[in-house]
Each structure stands twice: as C-alpha cells, then as structure tokens.
C-alpha cells in the first residue's frame, strides 16, 4: 500500500451530518481525512463569544483550514443541495490557487465563481 491520499473536507458547518458521513466514507476508501473542528453550526459552537472574539476565532479557524488545504492532496466540497457559502468559496479559491484537485459531494451545476 502506497501513501494514502489526504483529503480536506470543505463546506458549511450547517452540514454536520454530511461532514461526519464524508469522514467515514473517505476513511473507508483508504484516505486520510482533514476536517473542521466541530460538526455543529457556528452559532451553537460560538454563540457565547462577543462579536470581536468571534471575528478573531473565525479568522484563526480560516487560517488553520487553509493550512489543512496545504497539507491535503485534494479537497472535497460538501455542497449539500448545491449550497456553497462565502467561506467555502474562499477555500475553493485557495485550493485552486495552490493547484489542489477539487471533488464535489454533489455535481456542481455551475461554477460557484470565476
């Protein structure tokens, strides 16, 4: 067995079940999975923070996720129902800029951005 492919999951935290399922599916396919820190919506995880604290935490988490993309061989976009939020768009752009292949949970009906 050669080096396993490392896949980074990208998508909205509102799709916690999709993250959990993708983690299982990708792992069973022999891939190493990098994911988000929690599978609950941001409001539930960070609702106790002030606006300033939340902005700081979100910036740190975004930077950490870009580092995960750097480590990954590819990303898997969890575009449940075709939804791609602004943060996920940024992650896709980052992955493209760094030459990472992109897979989609659901067929992309159109490019999410140019």
Q: Over its length of 114 residues, how does the chain's per-residue pLDDT go in tens digits?
A: 789 999 999 998 889 899 999 999 999 999 999 998 776 666 677 778 888 888 888 899 899 999 999 999 999 999 999 999 999 999 999 999 999 999 999 987 655 543
Structural domain contains residue 48 = yes
In the chain, where do the E strands start and end? 6-11, 32-34, 74-78, 102-104
SS3 36: coil
Residue of 28, 34, 29, 31 lying closest to 9 (CA atoms): 34
Structural domain contains residue 32 = yes
State pTM to two decimals. Answer: 0.87
Provide the domain limits for residue 80. Answer: 6-100
Structural domain contains residue 90 = yes
pLDDT value of position 111: 54
* Residue position matching structure tokens 């993309």: 69
Rounded CA gap, 56 and 85, in Å? 19
């Amino acid at each position: 067995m050669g080096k396993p492919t490392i896949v980074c999951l990208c998508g909205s935290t509102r799709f916690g079940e999709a993250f959990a399922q993708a983690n299982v599916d990708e792992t069973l396919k022999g891939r190493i999975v990098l994911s988000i820190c929690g599978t609950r919506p941001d409001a539930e995880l960070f609702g106790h923070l002030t606006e300033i604290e939340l902005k700081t935490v979100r910036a740190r988490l975004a930077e950490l996720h870009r580092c995960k993309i750097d480590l990954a061989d590819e990303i898997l976009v969890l575009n449940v129902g075709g939804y791609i939020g602004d943060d996920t768009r940024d992650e896709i752009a980052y992955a493209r800029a760094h030459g990472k292949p992109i897979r989609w949970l659901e067929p992309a009906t159109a490019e999410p951005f140019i």
